[in-house]
Amino acid sequence: MEFKHKAHIMDAAGISRALSRLASQIVEQNVGMTDLLLVGIRRRGVPLAERIAERIEHLEGQRPPTGQLDITLYRDDLSTVGPRPVVNRTDIPVDVTDSTIVLVDDVLYTGRTVRAALDELVDFGRPRKVELAVLIDRGHRELPIQADYVGKRLQTTAAEIVKVMLKDYDEEEQVIVVENE
């Protein structure tokens, strides 16, 4: 598929600064960090959660545990998406009951991914609190879901695609907006 490049939003340094700010805000809201757990939503939420955890360690001298969620089995659009998504593994390393969980994803759009992630999380136990951190909030919510920590808010149209590219999966590290040709 060919994409038309529309806008350059962040470069590697911009992503790094945004993550540092998210880390500071998370620390500020969770003083003492008792039972804090960062959970990345596959795929790109996972490296973002790791990077935020590193920054929190730098700030507080203690690295919060991190986990990862694959929400495929909880999607509400399984039979309409195709080809069939690959089911990857979910890994929650600690007991979630009474913990404070910060869900981490790259882009917040309709809110359906977060809805699925919340459903999956509560199957592991009853967290005391669940918060949401995203690198980009691009609007167009279809469910009553909001992020607690936002790297950058973008005004977008439904036809546009926000691509968060990270060195873990992509050649270049940047955030761009493209549109289908």
| Positions that interact with another protein (CB under 8 A) | 70, 73-74, 78-79, 82-84, 86-91, 119-120, 123-125
Please write down the HEC assignment for all residues of the chain.
Answer: CCEEEEEEEECHHHHHHHHHHHHHHHHHHCCCCCCEEEEEECCCHHHHHHHHHHHHHHHHCCCCCEEEECCHHHCCCCCCCCCCCCCCCCECCCCCCCCEEEEEEEEECCCHHHHHHHHHHHCCCCCCEEEEEEEEECCCCCCCCCCCEEEEECCCCCCEEEEEECCCCCCCCEEEEEEEC
Residue 103 or 177 with smaller CB distance to another protein = 103
Residue 115 or 138 with smaller CB distance to another protein = 115
Residue 95 or 172 with smaller CB distance to another protein = 95
Measure the CA–CA gap between 116 and 72, rounded to whole angstroms: 8
In the complex, least distance from residue 87 CB atom to another protein, rounded to whole angstroms:
4
Residue 31 or 86 with smaller CB distance to another protein = 86
End-to-end CA, the chain:
8
In the complex, least distance from residue 76 CB atom to another protein, rounded to whole angstroms:
9
In the complex, least distance from residue 138 CB atom to another protein, rounded to whole angstroms:
27
- Phi/psi for 178 (5° steps) reads -130, 170
Residue 103 or 136 with smaller CB distance to another protein = 103
Residue 32 or 82 with smaller CB distance to another protein = 82
In the complex, least distance from residue 127 CB atom to another protein, rounded to whole angstroms:
13
Beta bridge partner(s), residue 39 = 67, 103
